[in-house]
Structure formats: structure tokens, C-alpha cells
Amino acid sequence: MWWQYVLVFCGALLVDITPFPLPPAFTVMIFLQAAFNLPIWPVIIVGVLGSALGRYILTLYIPDVSGKLLTPEKNEDIRFLGEKIKTSGLKAQFFILFYTLLPLSSTPLFIAGGVARMKPYYMLPAFLAGKLTSDGVAVFMGKYAAENTTSLLNGIISWQSVITLGLFLILIFCLLFIDWRTLIQHHQLKFRFKIWRWRHRN
């Protein structure tokens, strides 16, 4: 039975290690829990640990990716945003916890944290607490909603998934194109679209 939990761990890790919009980790947990009839709480715990490791790895490599894709000015802007979050202390922890309780992708949060080179211990505890709660609720609900594999797969591409994808794209747009330094320091909303290195060279 142990290999089934390895699948849960690896599946959650793989969907959360990427900066691209993939189905949330709890859909992997629901699918494998239903497919193998696994006890729910071990699935939740193992899946959340895999998800946390995936996000940790994302923060390690995303600075190099952003350094190659984004202009130095935009990287500095995202680092400034991350520093503001980091220096907010307990408020930032509550923000991360609240954010992970919402049905939103945590990818933009960890991209910002990774580019800002925030320490993993600063983000992961609140992330783990939030994901144990939100993914736990999702898996319990999925146990009753997913009577078979077909219904589960249909649920993954439901209107909720479309909304989640839309919110993910909006958050990524805001992270990349809002001038955060201007917004935070001068309270002015300003967009910058010349953020890509190849456009900057031209």
C-alpha cells in the first residue's frame, strides 16, 4: 500500500513544482484516494507535504527563470514586493494563511517569494496550515462528490476550474505588470508591459 502514497506525494509535488496553471494538488489527492480507496487523512497529510516540497523547489529555481525572462527592473520590482511582505511580520503570516485558505492558486505567491529570495521557513508554516485545512475540506467533499473516475475527471474541468484558472491568470498578470514600487510607495496604480528581456534588448 505504501507505493500508493508515493503516488499521492509525487502527484502533489509535480503539480505544485511548476509555475504553470495545472489542476490543484487536491484534485490529485481526490483522484488517487478514490482510485485506491485510501484512508482520507493519510492522503491529505502526504499530499500536502508533497505540495509543500513542490512549492519549496519552485522558490529555489524561479529566481533563475525570472532572471532570464524578465528585465532587471521587473525582477527588482518583484523583490521589492516580496521584501514588503517579509517585513510585515505577523500580518504577512496571516495573509499567507488566509490566501491558502481561498480557492486560489498559490503559484503567484511563491513566485513572488522565490524572486524575492524569501526564506522557505518564512512561507511554508502558514502555507502548510492553510493547505491542510483547505485541501482537507476539498478531499472530504471530493470523496462524496466523486463516485467514480469519470465524474471526477468531469469535475476537474468544471466551471469552478475555469474560474480558478481565470483568477490564476489575473494574479499572474498583476504580479508581472503592476509597478509594485509605485503602488506601495506612492499609492498610484501603474502598469509596465516592457518587462521581458528580449523586448528590452530590442
Instruction: List the chain pLDDT tens, one digit each, 202 residues.
Output: 688 999 999 999 999 998 877 778 888 898 888 888 899 999 999 999 999 999 999 999 988 888 887 788 878 887 887 777 777 777 778 888 887 877 677 888 888 888 888 887 788 888 999 889 888 888 887 776 655 445 555 555 555 666 766 776 787 787 778 887 787 777 888 888 777 766 555 5
pLDDT at 45: 94
pTM: 0.74
pLDDT at 159: 56
pLDDT at 53: 95
**Nearest residue to 184 (alpha-carbon basis) of 112, 111, 101:** 112
Distance (Å, whole) CA 82 – CA 117: 8
H helices, E strands: number in the chain: 11, 0
pLDDT at 193: 78
Distance (Å, whole) CA 72 – CA 36: 48
pLDDT at 121: 78
